[in-house]
Structure 1
Amino acid sequence: MIQFRIQPDSEIPASTQLFNQIRFAIASRQYPPGYKLPSTRALAMQTGLHRNTISKVYRQLEEDGFVESLAGSGIYVRAQGHEGGSKLQSPILKQHPEAEKVVQQALDELLSQGCTLSQARELFLAEIDWRLRCSARVLVAAPSVDIGVGELMVYELEEALKIPVQVVAMEDLAAVLDKTSSATVVTSRYFISDVEAIAAPKAVRVIPLDIYDYSKEINLLKTLPKENCVGIVSLSSGIGRQAEVILHGLRGDELLIMTSQPKDAYKLQAIVKRAEVIITDQASYPAVQAAVQAAMEDIIRPPKLIRVENYIGTKSINLLKRELGLG
């Protein structure tokens, strides 16, 4: 009988651990088609899990097409594909038709290198468990002098990934990682070398994010009349400084540049009253809108508001989703 191991201190739910192990036993033919699964009582004694938890796992296996329940007899492994005479596709295979081939090729490659099925199983499960643990906690690292850029990345990542994300000052990152067994750290490519140096000894992944190229906004600024005032409002003070440098390189002293963070009410009010054009990131846009509305009685012509699509590049978002198993 296969010995299933449940790690009680793991961040992965016990039911998920058991589900993945039974599924792998089926995939690796340790549980071949027609094999009768252990009773819930026997599995409860082996794993220490409640029988209701095991019943829930068995129901999920049945819903996904891995097993079938025969009344009065027990739970049996179902034949897959050509083994059953007709192609039986689980919801996962219907959504990802090439997945089975990819897994088979990876398993064949391991076996060709001399791995046993048990060793391959351990490698697969270890990698899956590690990725799940890393994905359970996502940290954004940014320098404390511009923690706003980290807050901006958190804002956009939470919007795109629909999971909690935490910002950490780079100066505090080592201490935070000392208190966690696994995590994924993301940061702008500007800071990647410093973050990797901190994270290298830790059990974490570090993923660099490419930023938006701002080409559309830059092209607009090239065409503005001389002596126009341009406001830059962002959570990141660093973005404001970089924008000043870029615009001075493009237009010299032809344009007046004013920068502010949304929380600086005095500077924001000055920009709203003076600028013809205000460029803002997604997170700062509501504050800029509110400031414009509040100043409507004091300004003759409201400034044109340009909301930048995003700070993090779309390709980086998609890569991060794949790495975290979110799509």
Structure 2
Amino acid sequence: MANPLQFQIQTDSDIPASKQLFDQIQFAIASRRYPPGHRLPSTRQLAQITGLHRNTVSKVYRLLEETGLVESQAGSGIYVKAQGHEGGTKLGSPILDQYPDAYQIVQKSIDELLGQGCTLSQARELFLSEIDWRLKCSARVLVTVPERDMGAGQLMVKELEGALKIPIQLVSLEELVGVLELTHSGTVVTSRYFIGEAEAIAAPKSVRVIPVDIYDYNQELVKVKNLRQNSCLGLVSLSDGILGIAQILVHSLRGDDLLVMTARVDDTYRLNALIRSAHTIICDRASYDITKQAILEAREDLIRHPDLICSDNYIGEKSINLLKRELGLG
């Protein structure tokens, strides 16, 4: 299916064009539409696509680089930066100095696995699974997000606990330093939006950080693209951050020809106002039951029953599978 997110800039919007472009590229990276190693369009190409000045595109690229999401390679271009475990590791000299036979043991073990018919990828998976399985009992899994957007963290915790079947602790980025002072092992999980901040805190503690990709909302965006002009779209979530980026994405697709209303699911007043106005409502899984119940309670006052669409995921399926492997759970 074609990607409905095509870096569309609404020139008559109150939202600065640079912010529109930055948010759309950040979403493309966070949802893995632009995976690590992906080469971004040149400033000339992106200027032609969006109609923006090349200086504006360059400014957006510099901000993305400062945020730690992309890196510039001289003479080559701008690339999505690998984060955490994605960068790969090699045996370093301190380990070899302490265990001089370690490298030969690893080589011999890999050669024996290859001799049995395993691929390098399968051998890597076997090593990671065994090592992480032995670490799992003492490890803690922490989800971290900024305090201003704990709703996104709550969504991540709900999905990870359901998928991994282990307890997950939610910690704000502001409290992460203190929490890591009290632990000697563990895994910090966050979305790519916050990976730079999380790694800066966790790296000195020798705690690994694993970024997860958020769901790309492709199906929902296709439905938004096909909504009737001048209809009202309601967005409901636990997270202010999700509501903010959702508005940007909808705006990039439809401009001002849709009326968009948003509500946190715990804001009863705004939720009820949204239900009475919206023709279509999109909500996250954690907000679905409350939103559905609110619609049922208001049904006698509704001229029309809004079409309720539930986004079943916040974290991408590949990231869930990766975490299972990294933690030795599957």
Q: Normalising by the residue count of structure 1, what TM-score does the alignment of the two structures yield?
A: 0.61
Alpha-carbon contact 1:133-1:182 (below 8 Å) kept: no
**Relative contact order: is structure 1 or structure 2 higher (C-alpha 8 Å, sep ≥ 6)?**
2
Contact 1:141 1:170 in 2 (8 A): yes
Asked if 1:326 corresponds to 2:329, the answer is: yes
Q: Which secondary structure state, in structure 2, belongs to the residue aligned with residue 284 of structure 1?
A: helix
* Aligned counterpart, 2:108: 108
Query: Does the C-alpha gap of structure 1 residues 110 and 293 become closer, same or farther in structure 2, counting only changes over 3 Å?
Result: closer
- The residue type equivalent to 1:206 in the other structure is V
Q: Secondary structure at the match of 1:283?
A: helix
* Alignment of structure 1 residues 65-76 onto 2, 5 Å: none
> Any unmatched runs of 5+ in structure 2?
1-104, 113-126
Match of 2:320 among 314, 317, 320: 317
What's 2:214 paired with? 211
Q: Does 1:176 align with 2:158?
A: no
**1:213 match: secondary structure:** coil
Amino acid at match of 1:108: K
Q: Find out whether 1:276 has 2:279 as its counterpart.
A: yes
TM-score (norm 2): 0.60
Output aligned runs, 1:5-24, within 5 Å: none
Question: What displacement does 1:109 show?
Answer: 4.4
Amino acid in structure 1 at the alignment position of 2:242: I
How does 1:160-175 map onto structure 2 within 5 Å?
160-175=163-178
Q: Which stretches in structure 1 are left out of the alignment for 5+ residues?
A: 1-104, 113-122
Q: Would you say how many aligned residue pairs link Structure 1 and Structure 2? A: 212
Aligned partners of 1:209 and 1:316 also within 8 Å:
yes
Q: What is the deviation of 1:236?
A: 0.9
* Deviation sequence 1:248-278 (CA, Å, 0-9, x none): 1111110011111111000110111110100
Name the larger-Rg structure.
Answer: 1
Structure 1 runs (4+) greater than 3 angstroms displaced:
109-112, 126-130
Confirm or deny that 1:144 pairs with 2:122.
Answer: no
1:292 aligns with 2:295: yes
- Alignment partners' CA distance in 1, 2:110 and 2:311: 47
What letter is aligned with 2:135?
R
Please report how far the alpha carbon of residue 107 of structure 1 lies from its aligned counterpart in structure 2 after TM superposition.
Answer: 6.9
CA contact (8 A) 1:160 1:317 kept: yes
Q: How does 1:39-78 map to 2 (within 5 A)?
A: none
Judging changes above 3 Å, is the alpha-carbon distance between structure 1 residues 128 and 150 closer, same or farther for their aligned structure 2 residues? closer
- CA shift for structure 1 position 245: 1.2
Q: Distance in 1 between matches of 2:249 and 2:132?
A: 44
Q: Does the aligned pair in 1 maintain the 2:141–2:169 contact within 8 Å?
A: yes
User: Compared with structure 1, are the counterparts of its residues 110 and 157 closer, same or farther at alpha carbon in structure 2 (3 Å cutoff)?
Assistant: closer
Query: How far off is 1:177 after superposition?
Result: 0.4
Classify the secondary structure of the residue corresponding to 1:224. coil
Cα distance in 2, alignment partners of residues 285 and 106 from structure 1: 49
Code of the aligned partner of 1:132: K
| Secondary structure in structure 2 of the residue aligned to 1:306 | strand
Aligned pair 1:233/2:231, yes or no?
A: no
Q: Does 1:132 align with 2:136?
A: yes
Distance 1:212 1:176 in 2: 28
C-alpha distance in 2, partners of 1:110/1:253?
58
- How far, CA to CA, are the matches of 1:106 and 1:321 in structure 2? 23
1:220 corresponds to: 223
After TM superposition, give the deviation of residue 108 of structure 1 in Å: 2.0
The answer to whether residue 197 in structure 2 is matched with residue 194 in structure 1 is: yes
**C-alpha displacement of 1:227:** 1.1
Letter in 1 for 2:177: A
Query: Given the superposition, is the C-alpha separation of residues 127 and 325 from structure 1 closer, same or farther in structure 2, using an over 3 Å criterion?
Result: closer
Q: Aligned partners of 1:133 and 1:269: how far apart in 2? A: 45
Shift of 1:247: 1.1
For the residues of structure 1 that align with 2:312 and 2:213, how far apart are their CA atoms?
14
Deviation by residue 1:5-26 (Cα, 9 ceiling, x = unmatched): xxxxxxxxxxxxxxxxxxxxxx
**Conserved 8 A contact 2:163-2:320:** yes
For 1:180 and 1:313, the matched residues in 2 are separated by 28
CA offsets 1:206-249 (integer angstroms, 9 cap, x no match): 10000111111111111111111111111110111111111111
Deviations 1:59-78 (A, max 9, x none): xxxxxxxxxxxxxxxxxxxx
- Over the residues paired in the alignment, what is the CA RMSD in angstroms? 2.5
Further displaced range: 239-248 or 313-322: 239-248
Shift of 1:197: 0.5
Structure 1 187/128 Cα, relative in aligned 2: closer, same or farther at 3 Å? closer
